[in-house]
Amino acid sequence: MKRRPVAVTGMGAVTPLGLGVPALWRAVMDRRSAVGPPADARIARFAPVVAEIRDFSPVDHLPKKLVRDTDRNTQLALAAAAEALADAGWTADRAAPHLRGIDGERTGIAWGTAFGGIPSYEEEAARLVKNPESRVGPRVVSKSIPNAAAAAIAMRYGIRGPAMTYTTACAASANALGEALQWLWLDVVDRVVAGGSESLFTPTALGGLRSAGALAVEGPEDPESWCRPFDVDRTGMVMGEGAAALVLEPLDRAAARGARVYAVLIGYGASNDAYHETAPHPEGEGAAAAMRRALVSADLGPGDIGYINAHATSTPAGDRAESLALRRVYGEHLDRIPVSSTKGGLGHLLGAAGAVESILCVKALETGWIPPTLHCRHPDPDAPPDLVRDGPRRQRVEVAMSNSFGFGGQNGVLIWADSRLIGG
């Protein structure tokens, strides 16, 4: 396989910390937290705290009919994709938004989500239970199927290449980005819109996660600090929502058209724990395998990584397993590698997490600032030794690794690098 350098030329994000990548990055650098009590009292019964997007109005971004015909998950995806494509220099009209100057058949979409538009499905099911004689809405299936977001992006922009959806739980958008990298290595397409989206604030989903012991249902007096990655007193994850998209294209093509290059994606590793439906392998064996595969894919060794964005969701078992996996892969090198988890302020965005955290890795490479781990006051003894906790750290980073691990033992690991390392 010819491994052409693959550039990031556009980024977009809609997260609880703000609309757009600049707002996200400012909030992370300012150590802001979006975690707090949910606006909907029905949700509070199952999740006392969540990370909601409170300032996103879909009609400000999309035609009214498109809003009516889509779930919030798809609406967030469309907003993130629009920002990323515009950032990459591909413009479109609001009325007829097909992209100018690109070949739609040589453009792909790789998208990740854990559940898709389940809220729309659950809302319709609840209405049907209340009134069994009522008519089921004609858009319930098209709004709720997991591939709805990718299909909507394709239709909106005339993208006729492969549009694939990865539903590998919390690793979904990391897997989507990694699979997109391989498409470009194989010359399947010339560019890919890759990322993920999630909006899962429903009683059934949150109730199930709570029953599984995954959610934080208690914490410090300040609700903003309930998500505490790597902290010895962590009690569970905080559910968030959001979407992120990155435009990937071969570095030589990006340079030829004069595109801005933020970073390059140089490695990808995937694996499965083959252990349990919800719990990670206790020794982190599957996570370690994915990290090793990513290093091999990038032709790097453990000493070449300058920063690790950990998956660490603030669950006792998950954070410990990742810590052990990091020690297994990096050995003594881990003492000198800064590690942080950015979920303390964002919550866990499930299928969108890998894409959002990839953008944060890219920003770390671009700016020379490493994002902090919020609310970790007393690190677990197993936690990585160089945990960035007190605030953003000014440190030049040339290569960063992003970890994403999910239910079902799904693991996806990405390696990002400063494009100047390879002449970009």
**Segment 2-31, tens digit of pLDDT:** 688 999 999 999 999 999 999 999 999 999
Residue 93 has pLDDT above 70, yes or no: no
Structural contact between residues 411 and 271, judged by C-beta atoms closer than 8 angstroms: yes
Contacting residues for 75 by C-beta, under 8 A, at least 6 apart: 56, 58, 61, 62, 67
Is the domain covering 6-256 a CATH 3.40.47.10 domain?
A: yes
Catalytic member of 61, 170, 227, 376: 170
Residue 423 has pLDDT above 80, yes or no: no
What percentage of the chain exceeds 90 in pLDDT? Answer: 86
Confidence of residue 1 (pLDDT cuts 50, 70, 90): low
Q: At what angle do helices 353-367 and 21-29 cross, to 10 degrees?
A: 70
267-422: CATH superfamily: Thiolase/Chalcone synthase (3.40.47.10)
Sign (positive or negative) of CA dihedral 114, 371, 310, 174: positive
Degrees, nearest 5: CA angle 257-259-262: 150
Residue 340 CA: distances (Å) to CA of 26, 33, 36, 311, 329? 17, 15, 21, 9, 17
Catalytic member of 311, 361, 375, 376: 311
Mean of all residue pLDDT scores within the chain: 94
- Equal CATH topology for 6-256 and 267-422: yes
Q: How many other C-beta atoms can be found within 10 angstroms of the C-beta atom of residue 220?
A: 12
Residue 266 has pLDDT above 80, yes or no: yes
Confidence of residue 99 (pLDDT cuts 50, 70, 90): confident
Q: Give the pLDDT mean for 108-122.
A: 94
Residue 115 has pLDDT above 60, yes or no: yes
Residue 92: predicted pLDDT: 65
Active-site residue, 276 included: no
Identity at 389, one-letter amino acid code: R
Residue 253 CA: distances (Å) to CA of 4, 6, 421? 10, 9, 17
Q: How many other C-beta atoms can be found within 10 angstroms of the C-beta atom of residue 423?
A: 8
Structural contact between residues 176 and 358, judged by C-beta atoms closer than 8 angstroms: no
Active-site residue, 333 included: no
CA distance 300 to 168: 26
Residue 134 CA: distances (Å) to CA of 89, 124, 330? 47, 10, 58
Question: How many Å is the Cα radius of gyration of the chain?
Answer: 20
Residue 94 has pLDDT above 70, yes or no: no
The DSSP annotation for 81-123 comes to HHHHHHHTT----SSS-PPTTS-GGGEEEEEE-SSSSHHHHHH
| Alpha carbon of residue 407 to chain centroid | 15
Catalytic member of 61, 227, 281, 348: 348
Structural contact between residues 191 and 251, judged by C-beta atoms closer than 8 angstroms: no
Residue 95 has pLDDT above 70, yes or no: no
**Could you tell me the residue ranges of all domains in the chain?**
6-256, 267-422
CA distance 147 to 397: 35
Q: Rounded to 5 degrees, what are φ and ψ at 192?
A: -140, 135
Structural contact between residues 85 and 193, judged by C-beta atoms closer than 8 angstroms: yes
> Which of 54-63, 191-200, 298-307, 337-346 is the least confident region?
54-63
pTM, entire model? 0.96
CA distance 340 to 389: 7
Write out pLDDT tens, residues 225-251. Answer: 999 999 999 999 999 999 999 999 999
CA distance 51 to 34: 5
Write out pLDDT tens, residues 181-190. Answer: 999 999 999 9
Residue 101: predicted pLDDT: 79
Confidence of residue 308 (pLDDT cuts 50, 70, 90): very high
Q: Give the pLDDT mean for 194-215.
A: 94
405 half-sphere exposure, CB direction, 13 A CA radius: 37
Q: How many other C-beta atoms can be found within 10 angstroms of the C-beta atom of residue 378?
A: 12
Structural contact between residues 200 and 292, judged by C-beta atoms closer than 8 angstroms: no
Active-site residue, 348 included: yes
CA distance 240 to 156: 26
